[in-house]
Chain A
Amino acid sequence: MDTFSETFSETSLAFAPQSEEGRLLQQINENQFAAVELQLYLDTHPEDLGAIAMYNQCHADLIRCLRDYESRCGPLLSYGLSASPCHGWGWLDGPWPWETNFS
């Protein structure tokens, strides 16, 4: 075991969100992080068809998770990429990213 692993292996936090909103957001984060990783990999390995298939699967899952989240928790994206609830401008509802504790 290297020094880094010895020092830090016990400190990793496994978030297990309790709220519905936290759970939906975690699904988005998981799919989007996988997509970010695959995108960076594909930028330097554009010929890897298997990775492209994985990327497309992430895309499909991410879009489904986004719509799930938004239908229950409100808009996540700006500039016309998310709809607002008709009864009020949903963009201003709830905590901002620096105000949440992912509970």
Chain B
Amino acid sequence: MWIYERKLEYPLRVSGPDPRMASCILTQYGGPQGELGAALRYLNMRYSMPTSRAKGILTDIGSEELGHMEMIATLVYKLTEGVSAQDMKAAGLDAMYADHRHALFWQNGDGVPWVAAYISATGDPVADLTENMAAEQKARAIYENLITLTDDPCVKDGLRWLREREVVHFQRFGEALMYVEDHLTQKQVYPVS
């Protein structure tokens, strides 16, 4: 069961509208390395983990990613708030405006819709935790790309904070993987082919 907290995990501001940047940030909403994919990947993987530590860290990081999804949506909302159709068009977002006006959509920066194939789960805890470590590194890289793409110090601040979380998540998944490998070695469990 999940409970909603009516606040962001970290407060966000923007200096002013920037629809072009909003469309870039949207990839962290509905792109392959985005926060929705991360949340669903981790929460979905919990059921095939062998240790309580791994189940715990996947539950807690997966839940945190849901909060990050809300932060990304907030950034996109603030960067497009009150922007006219003409200004959306001037920013190259007329096609997005035609389909969604100011509504959010699960897509990457290029408009490719989110697909379930972004979620990897093999059922092998070592493969899956390794996948998560890669996912955190890819998300970190994308946050760095986004930080490079904006001059807005407020947007940079929020993106930097989110980038830091990916670094911590990577670290925790690495530790979880270590404990899972120890557990599997001790139990002498071998996958059945």
* A→B interface (CB under 8 Å): 32, 77-79, 91-93, 96-98
Contact = CB atoms under 8 A, between A and B. Distances in A.
A49 to B, nearest CB: 22
Interface residues of B, number: 11
A93 B56 CA distance: 10
Nearest to B2: A78
B52 A98 contact: no
B63 A78 contact: yes
B47 A98 contact: yes
B76 to A, nearest CB: 24
A92 B60 contact: no
A91 B56 contact: yes
A93 B59 CA distance: 14
Contacts of A96: 46, 52, 55, 59
A79 B63 CA distance: 10
Given A92-B52, A92-B53, A97 B1 contact: yes
B3 interface: yes
20 contacts: A32-B1, A77-B3, A78-B59, A78-B60, A78-B63, A79-B60, A79-B63, A91-B56, A92-B52, A92-B53, A92-B55, A92-B56, A93-B52, A96-B46, A96-B52, A96-B55, A96-B59, A97-B1, A98-B46, A98-B47
